[in-house]
Amino acid sequence: MYDVCIVGSGAGGSPIAYELANAGFKVVVLEKGELYDESTFNKDEIAVSRRDMFTPPLSEQKHIINEYSQSGKFTRYDGEKSGWNFWNGSLVGGSSNLMSGYFHRMKPNDFQLLSVYGEVKGANVVDWCISYDELEPYYEKVEQVIGVSGKIVEHDFQEPRSTPDLPFPMLETNGVTKWFDGACEELEFTPIPTPRAILSQNALGRNGCYYSNFCGSYGCASGAKGSARAALLQKCKAKVVTDAFVYKLDSKDGKVVRAHYYTKHRIPHVVNAKIFVLAAQAIESSRLLLNSKTKEFPNGLANSSGELGKNLIFSAGGSGSGRFIFEKLTKEQRQELMQPGLFFNRSLQDWYDYEDGCHIYKGGTIDFLFEHQNLISRVSRELYDDEGNLLWGEKLAEKIEKTLTTSRVLTFEVFNDWLPTDHCNVAVDEKESDKWGVPVGVINLNSHPQDLEVGEHLAKNAVKVLEEMGAVEIDYSISSSPPPNLVAGGCRFGNDPKTSVLDKNCKAHDLENLYVTDASFMPTGGSVPYTWTIYANSFRVADVIKKELLS
């Protein structure tokens, strides 16, 4: 019998394991994926770009996706046939191994979207049942334990902090950041050094960054990136069981009593524990609870409210880019542009909220970064000439060489709220099953028109910066297509058991010993990437569970 059984080893589960195992409790973590670490991570572009090394094959573990239009009609996609994939990291430490590590805190107003900005027609906007002040000490804890590098710059939307600056110095940046800062000064924008969950120096028993420029989608071979595995699981005595797909939770008399899991060869196992923590990723956590039906919970475990799986959210926004070409640069500027490895690390939050007419809108964040170093993706965009004709041989080689050696692309990513709606949720399909015979998740997708309006506003301001810097070939796309690596909701927390799945401490209203600590708890997502908030909330819940076990 374990004190705590945690399903999932990513940013939502690992802080629980770290805190409780180090406090002397018996903890087991069940992880569906395999163990990779610094000794096995590499920059194998074929494995990551072509073979989905870290995610399950859709032939074995697919999704059913229903994409709703604004009229209410939907198009159904079979994940296996369409290739539409919502897996984002199946390995010890979860997708935190593969993140770029852009760490922004949510702002106080993110916790009270309804109160501050008012109702939005067609959106299920609510305030959080905790405040920024309640989570702030845990944001600070993440900085220290996970390791966040950067420099705090005062600006109009700077959130309150208990410490004046980040604990680790800024990462080394490319000389082009000077052009960016100058352009922002001309435009009267405030450039912010982007906080990163990447160590800029040897610390916390890990190596500092060695600037390979292979962060997003790749594991970190130095250990500098603050993944749940490197920062937490490798530093605690929790037992981590790999190849453990949890497909059902049993409950009795108001408690979860055991977790059932299969190995990849469909060998069944059972784990008993006093407390269960679900952190399998927002879609998968809802799917597991929906598949854990009982007489007491015919619509899914912990679902007396009928809210389980509802109000699924992603990060709205999109991306854009501009190219800097040698013909427009001095010799010194060319050298700065082509400095290898060094980060760009600049963000803008001047429009975290903004006024348009007589209405104040919740805005968002713009992160600027160089085009990924991955040559396969970069070269694949050079296969055609300006008229759309396929190139090959010497002409193709010449174009590739010129593109890679005499120009460089600066990109930007826009993050704004994906407003929760009735048609964006998780269900299960009773006819389709995965390789273990378990009903697959149905992902119903619907975005709110305001998501696109806000994203457009942010992107147009990002374009102004690229224009001021002298970039060419400037383009951007704001889309209602959701990013699979930024998903939350489905087990919304709140004070009313009739309208939420979890209480303010992320414990199920319906069960005495079930917590959900991945991004599922979030009723709204803010206008930043989620990982820092997931980490912080999980550390907060760990303190709650620790008190319960000690009582």
Tokens linked to 527: 């206008």
Rounded CA-CA distance 391/10 in Å is 43
What is the predicted pLDDT for the residue at 50? 64
* Residue 367: pLDDT band with limits 50, 70, 90: very high
Question: Taking each helix axis from N to C terminus, what angle separates 176-187 and 449-469, rounded to the nearest 10 degrees?
Answer: 110
- Please report how many Cα atoms fall inside a 13 Å half-sphere around the Cα of residue 168, on the Cβ side: 28
Q: Mean pLDDT lowest for which of 49-53, 147-151, 271-275, 331-335?
A: 49-53
Owner of token pair 């010129």: 402
Q: What is the mean pLDDT of residues 185-190?
A: 98
Segment 503-518 mean pLDDT: 98
b/e code 338-350 from CB counts within 10 Å (16+ = b): beeebbbbbbbbb
Euclidean distance between CA atoms 190 and 529, whole angstroms: 20
Lowest mean pLDDT among 73-87, 314-328, 461-475: 73-87
Tell the residue number behind the tokens 């059932």, with chain if given.
260
36-95 pLDDT, tens digit per residue, is 999 998 888 887 766 678 899 999 999 999 998 877 788 999 999 999 999 988 999 999
pLDDT at 260: 98
Burial of 295 (0-12, 13-18, 19+ CB in 10 A): exposed
pLDDT at 485: 87
pLDDT tens digits, residue range 205-216?
Answer: 999 999 988 888
Which residue reads 């999704």 in tokens? Answer: 63
Number of H helices, E strands in the chain: 13, 20
Which letter does DSSP use for residue 209 in this model?
A: P
What Rg, from alpha-carbon coordinates, does the chain have?
23
Would you state the pLDDT for residue 356?
A: 87
| Residue with the larger pLDDT of the pair 94 and 357 | 94
Q: What is the pLDDT of residue 66?
A: 95
Q: How confident is the model at residue 460 (pLDDT cuts 50, 70, 90)?
A: very high
- Of 522, 462, 528, 525, the C-alpha closest to 197 is 528
**Mean per-residue pLDDT of the chain:** 95
pLDDT, mean of residues 454-467 = 98
121-132 in b/e form (b: 16+ CB < 10 A) is: eebbbbebbbeb
Instruction: Measure the CA–CA gap between 271 and 4, rounded to whole angstroms.
Output: 10
User: CA angle, corner 399, sides to 398 and 405, nearest 5?
Assistant: 90
Q: How confident is the model at residue 178 (pLDDT cuts 50, 70, 90)?
A: very high
In one-letter notation, the amino acid at residue 254 is G
Q: What is the pLDDT of residues 228-249, one digit of tens each?
A: 999 999 999 999 999 999 999 9
Q: Which stretch of DSSP H or E encloses residue 404?
A: helix 393-405
For the segment 105-134, the average pLDDT, to the nearest whole number, is 97
pLDDT of residue 45: 82
- Give yes or no for a contact between 426 and 312, defined as CB atoms under 8 angstroms apart: yes
- Among 38-42, 134-138, 251-255, the range scoring the smallest mean pLDDT is 38-42
Supply the pTM of this predicted model. 0.96
- CA–CA separation, 358 and 374 (whole Å): 45
pLDDT of residue 387: 85
pLDDT at 378: 85
Whole-number Å distance between alpha carbons of 3 and 275: 6
The yes-or-no verdict on residue 476 having pLDDT over 90 is yes
Please give the average per-residue pLDDT across 387-405, as a whole number.
88
Please give the class, per CATH, of domain 2-550.
Answer: alpha beta
Domain spans of the chain, in order of start: 2-550
